Amino acid sequence: MRFTRITVNPNQMGGVPCIRGLRIPVATIVGMVADGMSEEKILKALPDLERGDIQEALQYASEAVREREIPLVTLP
């Protein structure tokens, strides 16, 4: 998959993936979605974002974890 809205710049935000060169990390958007915020609320909170940015941030996050195993706590 090719990401056209995600940028990584080692001189900006510590090199974390951001949206379109803005200082808005992908992780921030994914966290807002995970917290239950609607697209409308996210766009209102971050007016420089576009709807496509949110979708691509989620796609990027999905690809980032697709091949990795995340350790989970096993309950007794």
Q: What CATH number is given to the structural domain containing 51?
A: 1.10.10.10
**H helical segments located in 1-76:** 26-34, 39-45, 51-66
Within a domain: residue 74? no
pLDDT band of residue 64 (cuts 50, 70, 90) is confident
Within a domain: residue 29? yes
Is residue 19 within 8 Å of residue 6, measured between CB atoms? yes
Q: How many domains does the chain have?
A: 1
The residue range of the domain holding 30 is 6-64
Q: What is the pLDDT of residues 1-56, one digit of tens each?
A: 689 999 999 999 999 999 999 999 999 999 999 999 999 999 999 999 999 999 99
